[in-house]
Amino acid sequence: MFSPFFLNRKWFFWSWVGGAFILFSTWYQVQLDVEITEWFRTFYDTLQKALSTPNSVTFDEFLVFLIEFAKIAGLWIVIMIITNFFVSHWVFRWRTAMTNRYQSLWDKVNHIEGAAQRVQEDTLKFARIMETLGVGLLDSIMTLVAFVPLLWTLSKQINELPWIGAVSHGLVWVAILAALGGTLILAIVGIKLPGIEFNIQKEEAAYRKELVLGEDDENRAKFNILEDLYYQVQKIHFKSYFHYLYFNACKWSYFQGMVIVPYIALAPTIVAGVVTLGFVQQIVRVFGRVESSLQYLVRSWSTIVELISVFKRLQAFERAITPEIETSKIQ
């Protein structure tokens, strides 16, 4: 899965140079996000001043803030569009490298059960999932590198947490503990999902195979056989619906609850009136970015479950290929 793309000279430019470009463009996007966060503080401080003291801010001064935001946000949008476009091509090249290897061995492995599905469908799924998860993971890491130091600095002004008391850089620890705690809880709640997803693909494959065989053999794909196979498909799908029911209940309850966490943590500082509206907006935004990055596994869990299932199938296919290649060499 990895060696045909990353260890093949043919794909050196796309795999390594292209990967470096994705790394740089993602880093630059995060830096623009930092600038937007700093803009929020200045803008909301100006807004507070304008609302508390009439005519203290002119229309032209207010308009300058909006134009400044438009410039930063516009550049961020352009970089994001270019990055996403390039990532789509980069991942497709990865899929092509995998497919080329499988196609070169096709005459030796085409009798392996599910070979066609592995080469066509699973390489496509693998590429699409890696596109989503890979960019998300890279963005989360870059965001943590940029925003954790910023949150650490801003947290110096937060001297007290409710029910706990004085805690140095308290918001940083709140973000870390809340994200890791939620990740651990949801990982435990969703521990059965990867196995269920794998079994879904297994039952679907068995049903599809019987239908395909029935196209060329009138003795296959009889009604009673198809009915039994479809019952197994239905059974595993209904099982997954039940497990996703309580998993989603926990996940969305956690996400909605986390919305008010920074405000709870800031409550003693806010009611004491020692910070401005701009500071509150900035630190809540920074807290949210750090927390969201730390919640990467939680937010991506359903996609990760699907990736694990695809990875298992491709890994099993790779293991089946190896003996076939060795046998052909002996012959």
Contact assessment for residue 118 and residue 2, using Cβ atoms and an 8 Å cutoff? no
CATH number at residue 223: 1.20.1560.10
* Distance separating alpha carbons of residues 106 and 297, to the nearest angstrom: 36
In single-letter form, the type of residue at position 198 comes to: F
Place of tokens 């009889």: 222
* Side chain identity, residue 78: V
For residue range 221-270, list pLDDT tens digits in order. 788 888 898 999 999 999 999 998 998 899 889 888 888 888 888 888 88
Q: What is the pLDDT of residue 237?
A: 93
Q: How confident is the model at residue 72 (pLDDT cuts 50, 70, 90)?
A: very high
Question: For position 10, what pLDDT does the model report?
Answer: 87
The yes-or-no verdict on residue 21 having pLDDT over 90 is yes
Model confidence at 25: pLDDT above 90 = yes
User: How would you class 134 by CB atoms within 10 Å of its CB: exposed for 0-12, middle for 13-18, buried for 19 or more?
Assistant: middle
Res. 317: pLDDT tops 80: no
Q: How many domains does the chain have?
A: 1
Dihedral sign for Cα atoms in the order 302, 304, 305, 309: positive
For residue range 180-230, what is the model confidence (pLDDT) as tens digits? 888 888 888 888 887 888 888 788 888 888 887 887 777 787 888 888 989
Helices 301-330 and 193-216, interaxial angle, to 10°? 50
User: Is 265:272 a contact under the CB 8 Å cutoff?
Assistant: no
Per-residue pLDDT, 69: 92
Cβ of 298: how many Cβ atoms within 10 Å?
A: 23
Task: State yes or no: pLDDT of 324 exceeds 60.
Answer: no
Which residue range(s) make up the domain with 81? 3-330
What is the per-residue pLDDT for 328? 52
**Is a pLDDT exceeding 60 seen at residue 331?**
no
Mean of all residue pLDDT scores within the chain: 84
Burial of 226 (0-12, 13-18, 19+ CB in 10 A): middle
Quote the tokens at residue 329. Answer: 């060499």
Per-residue pLDDT, averaged over 276-301, amounts to 84
**What pTM was estimated for this model as a whole?**
0.74
pLDDT (tens digit, 9 = 90+) per residue, 284-296?
A: 888 888 888 888 8
pLDDT in tens, 1-18: 677 788 888 888 888 999
